[in-house]
Amino acid sequence: MFKKISLTIAGMMVAGSALAAGTPYHEGTATIVKPTDDRNPLTEIISGIDFRKDMIRDMQADEFENPGMLTVEYGEGIWDMPDGSKGLSMADVWEDCSGVAADVAGTVYPRYHEGAGKVLTLEQQINFCRENAMGAAPYKWEKADMLGMTAYIRYMANGSTINVNVDGPANSMFKKGEELYYERVGQLDMSCAHCHEDNYGNYIRADMLSQGNINGFPTYRVKWNGIGSTHRRFRGCNKNIRATALPYGHEDYVALELYLAWRGNGLTVETPAVRQ
């Protein structure tokens, strides 16, 4: 039964498509990056914005019109704000605590952190620094302070090239993320690859499927009427295929985020991106 539903969904995507798979909405003007790592299954890497209509593209490009900039500005305000028992701000502790310059951090996460002994997302790195270097309480994942801080750190690297390292101690999580990307789950028996590798450039209902690259997160979605994290998007995808949504920061989501970030190596940071 599940395979029949899955095939029906896939057929709807192809039958309803105005374009062949792999053809971006803005063919001819899209920025296409060639992967430099032969492990990447894609032959071309395209940002999600190149699959969006002009209204969304224009909104993202204009910082005065981009609603995600309000979250960036909020994050800028708390970046220098002392907090916790040590009276220090994130600006005071970031580089020593994380091991990476603030204006580069937006290009390298998720990243293995020796002090934590594991791969951390940007959100987890922020909370590691708050708890260990500032003596402050951790931020809640999808609340204003965390979204503001992640958006501001990513924004500081805007226009810089994504360069996520998946070798060395990060490799086991990378392999786990790769497995999860191709694993069929949920009542619709679908994987991430069904939409974002096999059918990018095709329509599902009125929405064109992208490659699922995450170089613009945290992202403002019109549907959300606000900005959200990569893990919020993962949870939404799980619900769409009637799979169990995992908690924010779950190890599987960290592994999947690491794999997806690596797939987009060579793209530039576009935070805050805008999507419908």
- For residue 93, give the CATH number of its domain: 1.10.760.10
Q: Provide the mean pLDDT of the chain.
A: 91
Model pLDDT, residue 16: 38
Q: pLDDT-based confidence at 204, cuts 50/70/90?
A: confident
> pLDDT, tens digit, for every residue of 214-257?
999 999 999 999 999 999 999 999 999 999 999 999 999 999 99
In whole angstroms, give the CA distance from residue 237 to residue 222: 16
Domain ranges, residue 185: 2-66+161-275
Does 260 lie in the same domain as 167? yes
| More confident call, 23 vs 161 | 161
> Domain total for the chain?
2
Q: Tell me which residue has tokens 């959100």.
A: 123
Model pLDDT, residue 265: 98
Cis peptide bond N-terminal to 218, omega within 30: yes
Q: pLDDT-based confidence at 12, cuts 50/70/90?
A: very low
Does 115 lie in the same domain as 205? no
pLDDT of 29 higher than 90: no
Does 271 lie in the same domain as 165? yes
Which sign does the torsion angle of CA 173, 177, 180, 182 carry?
negative
Domain C-terminal end among 156, 189, 205: 156
Q: pLDDT-based confidence at 38, cuts 50/70/90?
A: very high
Does 166 lie in the same domain as 138? no
pLDDT of 2 higher than 70: no
Model pLDDT, residue 207: 83
Does 127 lie in the same domain as 105? yes
Does 170 lie in the same domain as 109? no
Does 151 lie in the same domain as 195? no
Does 93 lie in the same domain as 44? no
Model pLDDT, residue 24: 66
Domain C-terminal end among 121, 137, 156: 156
> pLDDT, tens digit, for every residue of 56-81?
999 999 999 999 999 999 999 999 99
Domain C-terminal end among 93, 123, 156: 156
Cα 94 to Cα 97, 102, 152: the distances in Å are 5, 7, 13
Residues 6+ apart with CB under 8 A from 40: 262, 263, 265
Q: pLDDT-based confidence at 23, cuts 50/70/90?
A: low
Does 58 lie in the same domain as 179? yes
Q: Whose CA is closest to 168, among 118, 95, 213, 116?
A: 118
Model pLDDT, residue 67: 98
Does 183 lie in the same domain as 166? yes
| More confident call, 36 vs 91 | 91
Q: Average of pLDDT values for 116-123?
A: 98
Does 268 lie in the same domain as 166? yes
Model pLDDT, residue 31: 81
Q: Which residues are known catalytic residues?
A: 237
Does 11 lie in the same domain as 109? no
Q: How far is CA 194 from the centre of its chain?
A: 18
